[in-house]
Structure 1
Amino acid sequence: MPRLPVLRRPTGQPRLPRDVIVLGVIAFFVMVGFGVVVPVLPVYVRNFGVGYLEVGAVVSAFALMRFAASPFCGRLIDWLGERTLLALGIGIVAISSALVGFAGSYVEVLVLRGAGGIGSAMFSVSAMTLLLRSTPGSSRGRAVSFYHGGFLLGGMAGPAIGGVLATVSLTAPFFFYAGTLAVAGLVGLVLLQRTAVEGDSAAPAPLLPIRTVLRDPRYRAACLANFANGWTSLGVRSALIPVLVVDVLAGTAAWTGVAFAIAAVVQTIALGPAGRFVDTVGRRPAILGAYLVASGTILAIAVAPNFAVLTVLLCVYGVAAAFMGTAPAAAVGDATAGARGGRPVALFSMASDLGAIAGPLVAGWLVDVASFPAAFSVAAVFLLLAALSALRMPRERPQQRPESGGAGSS
C-alpha cells in the first residue's frame, strides 16, 4: 500500500492523535475503491441500453443523495457517536456497491447509487467531525492535510487498478470497491477510540448551538470557501477541463489524464507544507493567499495556449488546492472547538456538495451560450469572494488557538 504523506513534526508540536492516523488509512481504502469504480461506472450503465442523460443521472444520484442526507448526519452523530455512524455509513456504501454488480436493470443501479450517496454522507460528516474534535488547535492543519493525503493517494491508485479489473469484468470493480470499504469499516471499528456518546464513562462535551456557530466569522468564511472549492475543483475543473483539452487544444482524453495525474502528485507533495503553514502561520492568511492564487490560475487555465502551459497551471492550482482543502476545515474546527455534534460539519460539507452539483450545470450552460472563459470567470469570482471573506476572520496567533481536543473528549 502506498505510504501516506509524511508530515514532519516541527519542534514543539505534538504528535497527531492515533484517531487521525486511523482516519487517514480509512480515507485511503475508501478512495481506492471509489477511484476503481468511477471510470467504469458510465460504461457499465450504458450496457443497460440507456442514453447519456441516464448515465449522468446515475452519477448525479450519488451526489444529490449525499447532499440530501447530510443535514441528518449531525443529529445521528449526537445519538450514535462518530465511530458508529462512520462504520454504518461505510457499510451502506459497501453493500450498495456490491449489489450494483448484481443489478439487473438501470433503475436498480440508479437506486443503489443513490443509497451509496446516503452512506457516503454519513461517513464523510462523521469522519471529519471526529477528526476536528480529536485534534488540538495547534495540529489541526496537519491533521486535515494528512487525512486528505489518504484520499489523494487512494484517488491516484484507484483508476489504475480499475482499468486492470475492467479487463476481467465490468462488475469486478464494484465487488473490489465493496471489499476495500469492508476493510475501511473494520479498521474504523477496531482502531478508532470510543467516544462518550457511545457509552464511555467520560462526561459528554457540551452541544454547541448551530446559531452560535453561524455567527462566527471563521465558520462563515470556511463555508463560503468550501462552496467555492466545490464549485471550482469538483465541478468546473473536473467537468470542463477534459472538454477544453479536446475541443480547444485539439488533444485527447489521455492528455487530460496525464495532466490531472501530474497535478495530483504536486498537490499531494504540497499537503505537508500546507498543513504546517496553516498551523504555524494561520488559517486566515492561508485562505486569503490560496484562494487568490486559485482565482487567478483558473482564469489563466481558460485561455491556456497549449497543453504544456495548461499542465503547469494545473500544478499551480494543485498547490493552492492543498491549502484550500486544509485551512477551511481547520477553521471549522477552531469555531467548534470544545463542543460535540456534527451539524456544523454537516453544513460545511453541504456547502462543497452544493458547489459540486451546481458548478458543472452552470458552467456547462455558460460554455453553450457564451464561452469557456465566461464559465471559468464565474468560478474565479467565487474563489475571489472566498479569499475576501477571510479578511473578516480575526487575526490570531497560533498559540492562541483552542487546544481542546483529544480522543474521547473535547
Structure 2
Amino acid sequence: MLPFRRHVTDVDRPRLTRDVYVLGVIAFFVMVGFGVVVPVLPVYARSFGVDHALVGAVLSAFALMRLVASPFVGRLIDLMGERVVLSVGIGIVALSSGLAGLAQTYPQLLLLRGAGGIGSAMFSIAAMTLLLGATDPSLRARAVGFYQGGFLVGGMAGPALGGLLATISLTAPFFFYAGTLAVAGLVGVVLLRRAPQHSSTTVTAPPVPLGVVLRDVQFRTACVANFAQGWSSLGVRSALVPVLVVEVLRGPTAWTGLLFAASAVAQTIALAPAARFVDTVGRRPAVIGSFAVAAVTLFAVSLAPDVWTLGALLCVYGVATAFMGTAPAALVGDAAGARGGRPVAIFSMCSDVGAIAGPLVAGLLVDTVSYPAAFGVAAVLLAVAAGAAIRLPRTATGTPTPA
C-alpha cells in the first residue's frame, strides 16, 4: 500500500500578503506625484532668476538629503516601527511639496526640496523593510516586483499629467504632488496591518545582528549590485542618453521621452516573469545574467548609429532592469530577514551614492574622453556586480552565508 501523501493545496501555498498590495498602491500614488513634479521643477527653479548650476542644486538636494538621512532611518525603524516611519516620511514629503509651491525665494525652494529628500528616505526604506519582512522567502522577488510595478506605472503616468498641470501654473504640480501623497498616506494608515500575521517564519524570528548581515555574501553582493545600478540606471543612463540623442544622433528632445517610455514599458512587462524567475530558478542566475546583459547593452548604447537601434537597446536594458531591481532586494531579505531596517538603509544608500557620483564622473569623462568611455565605466561596474554574484548560493532562496 502506497504511503499517504498530502497534496499541497492553494490554501497551503504561500501568497502575497495584503501589505504587499497596499504598498504597491502607495508606490503608485507616490510616483504619480513625483513624475508630475520632475519635468516642471527645473523650469520652476529658473523662475527665481537663478543660473543652471543652482537649478541643478535643487535637483541634487533631494538625492543628497536622502543619502544623509538614510543611516538614521534604519535606527528610527528599529525604535518606532516601519508603519510609523513610513507614514511620517510621506507626511514630510507631502508638506514640503505643498510649501514648495508657495515658496517666495530660491533658498526656500532649496530647503524644502532637501526636507522632501529626508521624508523620501524615511518612506522608501520603511516600505522596503516592511515589504521584505511581510513576505514569505519564496515570494520575496514577486513582492518586490509588484511594489516596483506601482512605481513604474505611476512614473509613466506622472509626466503626462505634469505637462497638463503646468499649463495651469508652474506651482499646480506641487500641490497635486502633495495631494497624491496625502492619498498614499491615508491608504497606508487605513490599510496597512498593525500586527500582521504571516506564514513566513522570518516574521517571528529574532532580528539578524547587523554584523552577521554585513558578513553575508548575499548582502554584500546586493549592495555592489545596487551601487552599480544606481550609477548606471539612475545616473549615467538618465544623464547622458538625453544628451546623446540631441548632440550625437541629432534628434529632437522629444525622442528622449519616447525612448524612456518604451524602455519603461519593456521593464513593466518583464517584471512579473522576472520576479517569478528570481523566486523559482534563483537569485544567482538572475543577478549574473541580468547584470551581464545590462553591461553589454549599456556600452552598446554609446555606439548606437541611429535612434531605432538606441530604442531597441534601451528596451533590452529595460528588461534587464526588471531582474536587476528584484533580485538584489530579495537577497537583502534573504540575508537580513524581517525587521532589517538598518540593512535596508545601507542597501538604499549604495544606490543613492551611485546615482549621485555616476552623472558627475560620466559628465567629466564625456568632456575629457568620450561617450563610450563614460558608458564603459558604467558597464564595468555592472560586470563587477555580475562577477560578485558567482559566489552566491545556488538555491532559489538563500540563507545567511558568511563569506
Normalization by structure 1: what TM-score? Answer: 0.92
1:161 aligns with 2:165: no
SS of alignment partner, residue 101 of structure 2: helix
Q: Deviations over 1:278-300 (max 9, x none)?
A: 00000010000000000000010
Matched AA of 2:280:
T
Aligned to 2:7: none
Q: How does 1:236-385 map to 2 (within 5 A)?
A: 236-337=236-337, 339-385=338-384
Aligned-pair RMSD on alpha carbons? Answer: 1.5
Distance 1:70 1:195 in 2: 25
Please say if residues 125 and 345 of structure 1, whose CA atoms lie closer than 8 Å, have aligned partners that are also in contact.
Answer: yes
Q: Deviations over 1:384-404 (max 9, x none)?
A: 000000011121145x769xx
Q: Deviations over 1:168-203 (max 9, x none)?
A: 01000000000000000010011111149xxxxxx9
Distance 1:45 1:184 in 2: 26
Matched AA of 1:50:
V
Query: Which shifted more, 257-266 or 90-99?
Result: 257-266
Please say if residues 299 and 376 of structure 2, whose CA atoms lie closer than 8 Å, have aligned partners that are also in contact.
Answer: yes
Distance 2:331 2:392 in 1: 9
State the Cα distance separating 1:11 from its structure 2 match: 11
Distance 2:324 2:174 in 1: 31
Distance 1:276 1:177 in 2: 33
Distance 1:208 1:186 in 2: 31
Please say if residues 205 and 340 of structure 1, whose CA atoms lie closer than 8 Å, have aligned partners that are also in contact.
Answer: no
State the Cα distance separating 1:207 from its structure 2 match: 3.1
Structure 1 alignment gaps of length 5 or more: 1-9, 197-202, 403-410
Aligned to 1:181: 181
Q: Deviations over 1:296-324 (max 9, x none)?
A: 00010000000000000000000000000
State the aligned residue count: 385
Task: Note closer, same or farther for the CA distance 1:130–1:248 as it changes in structure 2 (3 Å cut).
Answer: same
Please say if residues 239 and 360 of structure 1, whose CA atoms lie closer than 8 Å, have aligned partners that are also in contact.
Answer: yes
Please say if residues 293 and 317 of structure 1, whose CA atoms lie closer than 8 Å, have aligned partners that are also in contact.
Answer: yes
Aligned to 1:54: 54
SS of alignment partner, residue 208 of structure 1: coil
SS of alignment partner, residue 396 of structure 1: coil
Aligned to 2:33: 33
Please say if residues 223 and 347 of structure 2, whose CA atoms lie closer than 8 Å, have aligned partners that are also in contact.
Answer: yes
Aligned to 2:82: 82
SS of alignment partner, residue 168 of structure 1: coil
SS of alignment partner, residue 167 of structure 2: helix
Normalization by structure 2: what TM-score? Answer: 0.93
Q: Deviations over 1:63-102 (max 9, x none)?
A: 0000000000011001111011100000000000000000
Please say if residues 89 and 122 of structure 2, whose CA atoms lie closer than 8 Å, have aligned partners that are also in contact.
Answer: yes
Distance 2:24 2:13 in 1: 19
Matched AA of 1:308:
W
Q: Deviations over 1:353-373 (max 9, x none)?
A: 000000000000000000000
Aligned to 1:3: none
Please say if residues 73 and 343 of structure 1, whose CA atoms lie closer than 8 Å, have aligned partners that are also in contact.
Answer: yes
State the Cα distance separating 1:210 from its structure 2 match: 1.4
1:191 aligns with 2:176: no
SS of alignment partner, residue 271 of structure 1: helix
SS of alignment partner, residue 380 of structure 1: helix
Structure 2 alignment gaps of length 5 or more: 1-9, 197-202
SS of alignment partner, residue 381 of structure 1: helix
Aligned to 1:120: 120
Shift >6 Å, 4+ stretches = none
Matched AA of 1:246:
V
Distance 1:396 1:205 in 2: 21
Percent identity, please: 69
Please say if residues 138 and 401 of structure 1, whose CA atoms lie closer than 8 Å, have aligned partners that are also in contact.
Answer: no
Matched AA of 1:29:
F
Q: Deviations over 1:325-366 (max 9, x none)?
A: 0000001000112x4240000000000000000000000000
